[in-house]
Amino acid sequence: MKYVEEFRDGELARGLAAAVARAVEPGRSYSFMEFCGGHTHAISRYGVTDLLPAKVRMIHGPGCPVCVLPIGRVDMAIELALAHGVTLCTYGDTLRIPASQGLSLLRAKSRGADVRIVYSCADALALAQQHPNRQVVFFAIGFETTTPPTAVVIRQAQVLGLENFSVLCCHVLTPAAIGHILESPEVREYGTVPLDGFIGPAHVSTVIGSRPYEFFAEEYRKPVVIAGFEPLDVMQAILMLVNQVNEGRAEVENEFSRAVTREGNLKAQNLVAEVFELRREFEWRGLNVVPYSALRIRADYARFDAERRFPLSYRQVADNRACECGAILRGVKRPWECKLFGTGCTPENPMGSCMVSSEGACAAHYTYGRFKELAVAEA
């Protein structure tokens, strides 16, 4: 398969692995956070860590849109579908997120809620056009990658004058989350999370560009290497990060230059700015309330805002007390250090959100890598 297999070549991977092994300095260890779930998934699925020296540790970050969605937001979606009887359209991953009262969108569906999986928000808009007598709500989640398409459909709905289409906007912002992690006491003061650098997002960066990360490199002295989602991209980025650390540099470098520019996609940025504005604060699962970290629909497009169209209110819901998703999303703990991992919480019966999406740190580790610590335990 052209343009895909080139980035998964085993021989090149071995070459890069050897280069990383040569680059790591004796007596030094390296901890890098891959922010994105896409990277987490690639690392687990292709077994990237098997090729890395033991001294290079990858920490899974919070960049999984499903994982960071707080229970209260899923509750709102369920309420829309069950109590207000709307047709709720959503991306597939969100269906299994555990919500309050043992519900999830999937369970709400089996109780009669009209929940549809769509592959694009444009499908939700089309559904609204086909069924003018039904209220169709698009449950919009995701980082900057999925935001511009949502902006497009809201504008289209405006042009079409649709009265039965609205969006439950839960779009969140990457730089705010990175900043929050860097400001967290674990990273700043206690040093419980040794963080030597970041692998920067792939698809998100195609939209926002590489410039927003420059602040982190300068202000916090953390190197950032933006990388594509293919396993060779990740290997190459790790090598670049190791080199930066060795040379005492903290710069933004772009491994994903085939898709990412410094300025990003200006057209998409303008579109987003036209339709959305910053929320003063937004709750993230695991990171708690993060100021200016999410978007809401501007007043000009208020009639397409499900939060204004329907009587909905947000209620904060605490996670299960034993669930370590929060600590895992901040890089403080690793999936297998959670008591529930693989026992009370499995992909079949997820208790925490990290076990839901295949991009979540727990699900990725459970699905692809759990033989590792079992082998250690038995040895």
Partner 1 sequence: MSAVKRGYVRGLDLKEGRVDMSHGSGGRAMAQLIDELFAQAFANDYLGQGDDGAVLPGAPGRLVMSTDCHVVSPLFFPGGDIGCLSVHGTINDVAMMGATPLYLTAGFILEEGFPLADLKRIIDSMARASREAGVPVVAGDTKVVEQGHGDGVFITTTGLGLLPEGVNLSGSRARAGDRILVSGSIGDHGMAIMAQRESLGFSSIIVSDTQALHGLVAALLSSGAEVHALRDPTRGGLATTLNEIAQQSGVGMMLEEAAIPVNTEVAAACELLGLDPLYVANEGKLVAIIAANDAERALSVLAAHPQGARAAIVGTVHEDAHHFVQMITSFGGRRIVDWLTGEQLPRIC
362 near 355, Cβ under 8 Å?
yes
Is residue 47 part of the contact set for partner 1 (CB under 8 A)?
Answer: yes
Q: How far is the CB of 234 from partner 1 (least distance, A)?
A: 10
Q: How far is the CB of 160 from partner 1 (least distance, A)?
A: 19
- DSSP letter assigned to residue 294: B
Is residue 8 part of the contact set for partner 1 (CB under 8 A)?
Answer: yes
Q: How far is the CB of 313 from partner 1 (least distance, A)?
A: 26
Is residue 123 part of the contact set for partner 1 (CB under 8 A)?
Answer: yes
Is residue 48 part of the contact set for partner 1 (CB under 8 A)?
Answer: yes
229/310 with CB nearer partner 1: 229
Q: How far is the CB of 368 from partner 1 (least distance, A)?
A: 4
Q: What are phi and psi of 164, to 5 degrees?
A: -120, 25
Strands 165-171 vs 295-297: parallel, antiparallel or unpaired: unpaired
Tokens of 200: 């920067």
Is residue 228 part of the contact set for partner 1 (CB under 8 A)?
Answer: no
Site string for partner 1, 233-272 (x = CB under 8 A): ----------------------------------------
The strand ranges marked E within 155-214 are 165-171, 197-200
Residue with tokens 């699962």: 285
254/355 Cα distance (integer angstroms): 30
For CA atoms 279, 281, 283, 284, the dihedral sign is positive
Restricted to residues 186-225, the positions that interact with partner 1 (CB under 8 A) are: 203
Is residue 17 part of the contact set for partner 1 (CB under 8 A)?
Answer: yes
Number of residues that bind partner 1 (CB under 8 A): 53
Closest CA to 369 of 31, 8, 45: 45
Q: How far is the CB of 353 from partner 1 (least distance, A)?
A: 13
- DSSP letter assigned to residue 187: I
Is residue 4 part of the contact set for partner 1 (CB under 8 A)?
Answer: yes
Site string for partner 1, 69-108 (x = CB under 8 A): ----------------------xxx-xx---------x--
Rounded (5°) CA angle 259-142-1: 40
Please compute Rg for the chain using Cα positions: 21
134/85 Cα distance (integer angstroms): 9
Residue with tokens 């963080």: 195
Restricted to residues 55-74, the positions that interact with partner 1 (CB under 8 A) are: 65-66
How long is the chain? 379
Site string for partner 1, 342-371 (x = CB under 8 A): -----xx--------xxx---x--xxxxxx
Select from 30, 32, 143, 213 the one that contacts partner 1 (CB under 8 A): 143
Q: How far is the CB of 370 from partner 1 (least distance, A)?
A: 6
